[in-house]
Amino acid sequence: MPGFFDYAEHQVSYTLRDVVLPQDLPLLVKWMHQPHIIPQWQLNKSELELAVYFERMLCDDHQHLYIIQIDRKDVGYLEIYEAKRDRLALYYDAEENDLGWHVLLSEDAVGKGHFRAVMRMLSFLIFEHSKAGKVVGEPDETMLVYEKIKQDIALNEQGKIKLQEKTAVLYHCFREQFYRQCGHYYEEFKRKKAS
């Protein structure tokens, strides 16, 4: 995965950049303590504990950590991971090139109409820079936003899975279906970028 990826929809700039420690630690600590994030991530820990946690995450070669930016402002966190080497492979028959995501939007971005574009951006990142035939996600079943937007981002519900800490909905986003439904967004972005 590249260290930087840019995208745009409706004249709004969306960017993914590598997490850099220790510079990004204060942001990550702040986000992990926001009330809407605590129930999903369960990482409302001390700064020291989170510093150790994110150092370990950066050293884990089966995943890549990004900061999400909207119009160049840091607003969220993204993990892209190899599903076959992740614990998710205990819950579904992961294929070799499957890549998954964990996504967090801070209170600066929630409810402002950006989620569909962010989700399309991360799928374009994966499909443009890997051999993945599908992207997988397993949000908590209480995260009803995915049910509302799944048609717009080509998510296919596979059923519920019971993880240790939550009951999740397993989603698959298949490359060919995604490009049929959403490819025009990327083509438009590339056309505007080239002009």
Spatial CB neighbours of 138, under 8 Å, sequence gap ≥ 6: 88, 91, 100, 161, 163, 168, 169, 170, 171
pTM: 0.95
**Confidence band for 69, pLDDT divided at 50, 70 and 90:** very high
Residue reference for tokens 């296919």? 156
At 105 the pLDDT is: 97
Averaged pLDDT for residues 38-50:
95
- pLDDT tens digit string along 145-188? 999 999 999 999 999 999 998 999 999 999 999 999 999 999 99
At 149 the pLDDT is: 95
Q: Peptide bond before 2: cis, by omega within 30 degrees of 0?
A: no
Q: Which domain holds residue 139?
A: 4-194
At 184 the pLDDT is: 96
Please report, for the domain that includes residue 160, its CATH number. 3.40.630.30
Please state whether beta strands 134-137 and 156-162 pair in parallel, antiparallel, or not at all (unpaired).
unpaired
From residue 180, alpha-carbon distances to 9, 135, 148, 156 in Å are 17, 15, 20, 14
CB 29 within 8 A of CB 50: yes
**Confidence band for 80, pLDDT divided at 50, 70 and 90:** very high
Spatial CB neighbours of 137, under 8 Å, sequence gap ≥ 6: 100, 101, 102, 103, 146, 155, 170, 171, 173
**Confidence band for 195, pLDDT divided at 50, 70 and 90:** confident
Looking at the structure of the chain, the number of domains it has is 1
Name the token pair of 121: 């951006």
Q: Give the Cα separation of 55 and 20 in Å (integer).
A: 10
At 152 the pLDDT is: 96
Q: What angle do CA 50, 103, 121 make, to 5 degrees?
A: 135
From residue 39, alpha-carbon distances to 75, 139, 167 in Å are 18, 12, 13
- pLDDT tens digit string along 2-20? 999 999 999 999 999 999 9
CB 109 within 8 A of CB 100: no
Q: Give the Cα separation of 56 and 68 in Å (integer).
A: 20
